[in-house]
Structure 1
Amino acid sequence: MITVVGTGTGTAYDPRALLGAGLVVGGRRHLDAVRLPEGAERIVLGPLGPALDAMERYVARERRVVVLASGDPGFFGIVRALAERFGPERLDVRPGVSSVAAAFARLGLPWDDAVVVSAHGRDLRTAVQVCRARPKVAVLTGPGAGPAELGAALARTPAGDRVLVVARALGDPAHERVERVTPAEAAGRDWGTAVNVVLCLDGSRLLGGARTVAGFAEGPAGWALPEDAFAHRDSMITKFEVRALALARLGPRLGDLVWDVGAGSGSVAVECARLGAAVVAVEKAADGVERIRANAAAHGVDVAVVHGAAPAALSGLDDPDAVFVGGGGRELPGIVGVCARRARRTVVVAVAALDRVPAARAALTAAGFVCDGVLLQSSRLAPLPGDVTRLAATNPVFLLWGVRPPVSSEGVSQ
């Protein structure tokens, strides 16, 4: 049997958990804080593989193993690796209070509506995009992915009124610190090694109604909203039929960053944000910038708006997962080319003028994308006097999309 004990963050440690242990495994600070049983071997956790091999030898001889971990070891902790190696039936898990629960408790806030993302041993990029998209996020940090790095990334692009709460040494009365800082302030400090968790909060949306499903809010009941769901100028808006296919090809989701270039009313940007993505809308018209902000606020989502003309306005932005390019005149091929060189997954282009299609397609293929497209031409039901209905044609639109081919482990496109 392997006993897994969660310690720290205010959890009282029961020394009886170590009785009869032949092997005790844990971080150095966990092991230094306990008295080992007579004759017990101790292993300081570093690379997990050798520790698991040692545990397997003890389990095979039916000798008791104890693993000391922080907080709740079943929450982004070692329980997953142990269950995969030895099977859940061989584990006796005694959880403590997780660092996430402890941090929110220190602030007096509920956290059933928080999204929790781990950057420990993982790419920080996903955590950054989740923080941009959601109003209440807990980030589990690690070396190279701590408060300074998170703050620096958030400070590069407008992220609303976000504040970072850095929780250190939780459960240690002498050293515990819980500090509120701006992303820029976090970026300029050395936080040391005692950080447990960083909360990224939108101060205007810390409390909400009762939840049924914890974590990420349920997705929208529908998308490709009608045009009258958005403020727009002179019908200058991506029609819902076009938006529906564009969203299908963009595939926006939590953890993604999407650019909406030449955003106009921001209808595509808002819809991507409703589906969970972090979104940057780039718009050169000042009245368009205000319209995008108003539409985002009306739908309760975060959209960072950059006032400027592409491609120059794109230079300071983080690389996106997906890009939507709407409109565009003579500059369209250059804009598509810049977006295609920087997009990680896909670029979708809506073009009304037939003459622009070949150049836009060439820009996608020149960047190594596999390109496809369709001409969308729909007719909507429209009422006529006398309780009859006619078909009203909408303007045809070409929708092109380029998809970056997958790369094999040898680095060669398949």
Structure 2
Amino acid sequence: MTDRHRRPFRHRITVLGAGQAAAHAALVAGAGLVLGARRHLDAAGVPPERAVALGPLAPALDAVADALDDGAGPVVVLASGDPGFFGIVRALAERFGPEALDVRPGVSSVAEAFARVGLPWDDAVVVSAHGRDPRTALNVCRAHRKVAVLTAPGAGPAEIGAALAAVPGLRRRLLVAADLGADSERIEEVTPEQAAARDWPGVHVVLSLGPGAERPGAMRAVAGGADAAEGGWGLPEDAFEHRDSMVTKAEVRALALARLGPRLGELVWDVGAGSGSVAVECARLGAAVVAVEKAADGVQRVTANAAAHGLDVLVVHGAAPDALAELPEPDAVFVGGGGTDLPEIVAACAERARRTVVVTLAALDRIPAVRAALLAAGFTAEGVQLQSSRLAPLPGGVVRLAATNPVFVLWGNRLDPSSGDEQ
């Protein structure tokens, strides 16, 4: 859009993405205030008396407001890449209104990183760790095979590498792009272990790639690798390999998933996974998943079911609660089965879960102990008996109702200790 097509606003803030400062040197030179990272200000040769280096965002926005109020002249913001993509445009629009902004984006650093290595990125998940809980970025890398991470201190290549290296059997390679567009630009391919063992000065985009990520799939209609699960959820039992009907029934699984609320950026445990049907469905909905199963043949079934659905599910061979000790903190936990040690397992899961625990069991006698374990850990304790009858064919083209075994579904959400409300 040319200047003559831009609407005239009284207080314009011009936001220049990467590569735009040189193209608009006169605009930068005539600005009353120039806001940006120190490297951008230095590269543009902005005098100190007209420059505000970005650090904490609130004081920088206050400086912009003061400059506009004082009529000090145009305000220019120098940004990285596309400033509307996980960038400063959001904060500026919230403070000053979108009508005050004249945004001239550059190429996003994510697009540059994928371009450098010759990969399409319409099937990638992009996650930012700037000013956010790094667990989200780490769980996305665990769950998805093509991820770009906009890094931050405490969530850089070393931390990403350490998180991925800690997951046995998870196959990932990391492409670390540093200082894209600068003379010091470099791209290195490393293993998670190698990334974890190094210091990484500079500004980075990390591409986390799993097996097959370098092979473009079918042409996509919607960008982004975190598709909604095709075919819905609560899949039929024959969508999973299982033994002697030992699989969480679709109706029970659908309610359990509704209470678990698995989502992109979260980690779910499936404890006593059996066939892994709940683990697979949580992964289909975007969550990172750890399935814990004590039977060796069960481990094989969970692994096969995850592979059949094209998903990465970490399968841990061991018995809870001991097998849980070294696992990363979960957001939600599903506990299946109903042995005599069920209350102890639920207590161990509730101690670690950040948000929700869901338990399925068949024995009425064990409900009080499970509820007590949830309540003792600071959770709510709710539940239902779920019994369904499916239509089954009869001779003559008619149907009957075939009852399934009743199952109790209990769940709890962690209470906010400061308010008593659910988190």
TM-score range, shorter chain: over 0.9
Q: Residue 60 of structure 1 corresponds to which residue in structure 2? A: 69
For 1:213, the equivalent position in structure 2 comes to: 222
**1:390 paired residue among 373, 386, 400:** 400
Deviations 1:254-313 (A, max 9, x none): 111100000000000001111111110000111111111111111122111001111111
C-alpha distance in 1, partners of 2:196/2:363?
45
Q: CA deviation at 1:13?
A: 4.5
Aligned pairs (5 A) from 1:368-407: 368-407=378-417
Corresponding residue to 1:195 among 203, 217, 230? 203
**What letter corresponds to residue 110 of structure 2 in structure 1?**
V
Aligned pair partner of 1:5 in 4, 16, 36:
16
**Among 173, 177, 181, the residue aligned to 2:186:** 177
Of 340, 343, 357 in structure 1, the residue corresponding to residue 353 of structure 2 is 343
Residue of structure 2 in register with 1:161 after alignment: 171
Residue aligning to 1:17:
27
Task: Kindly provide the amino acid, as one letter, of the partner of residue 188 in structure 1.
Answer: A
Name the amino acid aligned to 1:184.
E
Amino acid at match of 1:48: L
In structure 2, distance between residues paired with 1:278 and 1:253: 8
More off after superposition, 84-93 vs 288-297 = 84-93
1:357 shift after superposition = 1.8
* Residues 1:243 and 2:220 aligned together: no
The answer on 1:334 being equivalent to 2:344 is: yes
Shift of 1:195: 2.8
Structure 1 unaligned blocks of 5 or more: none
1:232 CA drift (Å) = 0.2
Q: Which residue of 2 aligns with 1:281?
A: 291
Shift of 1:412: 4.0
Moved more, 336-345 or 44-53: 44-53
Partner AA of 2:199 in structure 1: D
CA deviations on 1:353-401 (whole Å, 9 max, x unpaired) are 2222222221111111110111111111111223332221111111111
> TM-score, structure 2 length as denominator?
0.92
Match of 2:212 among 204, 207, 212: 204
- Percent identity over the alignment is 71
**Cα RMSD (Å) of the superposition?**
1.8
The CA distance in 2 between the partners of 1:159 and 1:28, in whole Å, is: 41
What is the identity, as a one-letter code, of the residue corresponding to 1:5?
A: L
- Structure 1 distance, partners of 2:298, 2:406, is 23
Alignment match, 2:4: none
Query: Counterpart amino acid of 1:190?
Result: D
Partner of 1:225: 235
Checking the alignment, whether the CA contact within 8 Å between 2:64 and 2:75 is kept in structure 1 is yes
Aligned pairs for 1:23-102 (under 5 A) are 23-36=33-46, 41-62=50-71, 63-102=73-112
Q: What is the Cα deviation at residue 79 of structure 1?
A: 1.1
**What amino acid is the match of 1:383?**
P
Alignment of 1:263-274 (within 5 A): 263-274=273-284
1:321 to 315, 331, 343: 331
**Per-residue deviation at 1:108?**
0.2
- 1:292 — aligned with what? 302
Structure 2 distance, partners of 1:349, 1:159, is 27
TM-score by length of 1: 0.94
For structure 2, the 5+ residue unaligned runs are 1-11
Query: Which residue identity lines up with residue 47 of structure 1 in the other structure?
Result: P
Distance change in 2, residues 1:12/1:110 (3 Å): farther
CA distance, structure 1, for counterparts of residue 23 and residue 204 of structure 2: 18
Runs of 4 or more, structure 1, over 4 Å off, are 10-13
Match of 1:358 among 368, 373, 386: 368
Q: How many residues align?
A: 407
Moved more, 355-364 or 235-244: 355-364
CA distance in 1, matches of 2:193, 2:286: 24
Shift of 1:12: 5.7
Name the counterpart of 2:7.
Answer: none
